[in-house]
Structure 1
Amino acid sequence: MRSKAGPGEEAAGQAPLTERGARTRERILRAAREVFEERGFLDTRVAHITRRAAVAYGSFYTYFPSKEAVFLEVADRLFQDMTEHALVPSEGPSPAACVRRANRAYYEAYRRNARMMAIIEQVATFNVEFQEMRRKHRAGAIGRLAEVIRRWQRAGLVGADLDAEMAARALAAMVDHSLYLWFVQGDDTPDTERLLDTLDALSIRALGLPA
């Protein structure tokens, strides 16, 4: 499968798009996400996407070489929304407050993207290129969280004997899988605040942060 073009470039790697072309490309991307969410990846056809976007069938291939390519870009944008900042506690009155704010930011991002996350889990079982893209996004988010933990270790707030990277991986997996079971699998989960308060408490206690 060919790699996707960067924003503002044609799928074949040619010159940057015109303003009109960029708008058409964005319309195709928005339509593709809607159709993927409704039909799933396997049952979606390029014709479904072009009808939803109100563009000619052949126009799709001006911007994307395949259904897989447009899916990869939709997923890439989703992962940016999910992981660019949500796993990294921002500055705040205390590390514990930063953890709470980060968990809630990730919850909101997951809620926005829950329908697409279900499709992503489907595609991750068979598409190697997609798996690699997902790993890169996750590795970047975990790396940023690990650096925050190391900063807290240097400040004496987290024990120096804790493996920062493994702690980041474990905490991210706990939060991510809890939300996956709730939003995607439909588990019988208690109310939002109770769930988030529990995830907060487990994260803060695992790191040994003052509450």
Structure 2
Amino acid sequence: MGRGSKIEQAGMQQASGEKTPRTERGRRTLRKLLDAAASEFGEKGFHEASISGITRRAGVALGTFYTYFDSKDAIFRGLVKDMSDAVKQAAGEAVREPMSALEVERQALAAFLRFASEHKEVYRIIDEAEFVDPASYRAHYENTAARILERLKAGADKGELRSDLHEAQAWAIMGMNVFLGLRYAIWGSGDCDADEIARQANLLIGEGLSKN
């Protein structure tokens, strides 16, 4: 399954030490392996997926796999990091200055919804990480919440948001975004109106639900 530009441009540092590719050819091969792993894990799940299935999808020799990863667990960890970086990049590219704090959140959510619509496997893979590699799972959400909190604090510094912001508000926004993606990008009929969904969510952030 082909991968979109957001994933193609994401960080390529999943292999560590001497396994980090030093050449453009090596980086392309690593990209092929990660893309193939996304398809393999996304379709079969971690336990049914295999290294041979990944290399067949990537069109590389089985021995090539071990140039970059030590095991199926290792490439899964690398893939979770890769997808987390791609989500971060998709949201980051949607944010342009000058933009109000609420507009930043609206655009970031819309970008995430579009990304999830194009890469539905991201939900299965991240969810499986809770059991396969809990540290990667936790890091994904902690880093995402930290980015949201940083954006909110930037809005507060500009006088656009309340000054008594709490970490819990960033986690609440992240939780809303995750489940909106599940409902509309994953369970939807394929015609996810990312901009309208993000607009509705933005009304909740900006105005709340109280009548007055």
3-state SS of paired residue (2:119): helix
Matches within 5 A, 1:113-192: 113-124=119-130, 126-127=131-132, 130-161=133-164, 163-184=165-186, 186=187, 192=193
2:200 aligned with 1:195: no
TM-score normalised to the size of structure 2?
A: 0.75
The C-alpha deviation readout for 1:44-99, integer Å capped at 9, x for no partner, is 11111122222222332222111111122122111111134627955334333223
User: Hey, which bits of structure 1, 4+ residues long, moved more than 6 A?
Assistant: 187-190
> Bigger shift: 37-46 or 78-87?
78-87
TM-score normalised over the length of structure 1? 0.75
Q: What pairs up with 1:68-107 in 2 under 5 angstroms?
A: 68-84=73-89, 86=91, 90-107=96-113
Partner Cα distance (2:188, 2:179) in 1: 11
Tell me the number of residue pairs that the alignment of Structure 1 and Structure 2 aligns. 197
Unpaired runs of 5+ in structure 1? 1-5, 207-211
Name the SS for the 2:160 alignment partner: coil
Q: Is the 8 A contact 1:47 1:57 kept in 2?
A: yes
* Equivalent residue in structure 1 for 2:60, among 48, 55, 63: 55
Question: Aligned residues: percent identity?
Answer: 27
Look up the match of 2:8.
none
Q: Does 1:13 align with 2:15?
A: no
Q: Which has the larger radius of gyration?
A: 1
More RCO (CA 8 Å, sep 6+): 2
Residues 89 and 102, structure 1, Cα contact 8 Å, conserved in 2: yes
Contact 2:116 2:122 in 1 (8 A): no
Tell me the CA shift for residue 164 of structure 1: 3.1
